[in-house]
């Protein structure tokens, strides 16, 4: 399962308030909405990826005591295509830009995470 683990708990409320939609042309990727749970410990981001077929799924960001994990919500379980991994990489970059001191400590999608600007 594609995932990214960050070295600290990030402020999901800050990310929620700072989030700007992600839209890319090739492959088509749209991440336009974000939902936060009442405890501000979990975010869900509905995602659309259009390649040879359409993939609708949720990306989950879960903040725990000393780490934050970005992963596909298992209940939506899309095919792990290049576009799906690219969507996760773009969202990872978004987190790294909002929280510059955060570091990735574990991932299996490093080839899909763009370099920081």
- Classify residue 34: in a domain, yes or no: yes
Cα 33-39-44 angle, rounded to 5 deg: 25
Confidence check: pLDDT of 96 > 80: yes
- Classify residue 117: in a domain, yes or no: no
What's the pLDDT band for 45 if we cut at 50, 70, 90?
very high
Predicted local distance difference test score (pLDDT) of residue 116 = 77
Return the CATH number at 93: 3.30.530
Q: How far apart are CA 15 and CA 98, in angstroms?
A: 7
Give the model confidence (pLDDT) of 60-74 as tens digits: 999 999 999 999 999
Global pTM value: 0.94
Domain count for the chain, please give it: 1
The verdict on whether omega for the bond into residue 81 sits within 30 degrees of 0, i.e. cis, is: no
Residue with tokens 């995602």: 47
Task: State the sign of the Cα–Cα–Cα–Cα dihedral 79, 80, 83, 85.
Answer: positive
Give the model confidence (pLDDT) of 46-60 as tens digits: 999 999 899 999 999
Q: Around 60, how many Cα atoms within 13 Å sit in the side-chain half-sphere?
A: 17
- Classify residue 101: in a domain, yes or no: yes
Q: Which domain holds residue 79?
A: 3-112
Ranges assigned E (strand) in 20-92: 22-24, 28-31, 35-36, 42-50, 54-63, 68-72
Average pLDDT of the residues in 25-34: 96
């Amino acid at each position: 399962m594609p995932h990214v683990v960050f070295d600290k708990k990030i402020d999901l409320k800050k990310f929620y308030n700072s989030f700007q939609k992600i839209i890319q042309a090739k492959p088509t990727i749209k991440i336009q909405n974000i939902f936060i749970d009442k405890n501000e410990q979990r975010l869900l981001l509905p995602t659309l990826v259009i390649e040879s077929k359409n993939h609708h799924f949720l990306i989950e960001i879960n903040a725990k005591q000393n780490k934050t994990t970005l992963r596909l919500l298992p209940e939506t379980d899309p095919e792990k295509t290049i576009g799906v991994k690219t969507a996760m990489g773009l969202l990872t970059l978004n987190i790294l830009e909002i929280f510059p001191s955060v570091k990735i400590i574990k991932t299996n999608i490093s080839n899909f995470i763009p370099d920081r600007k």
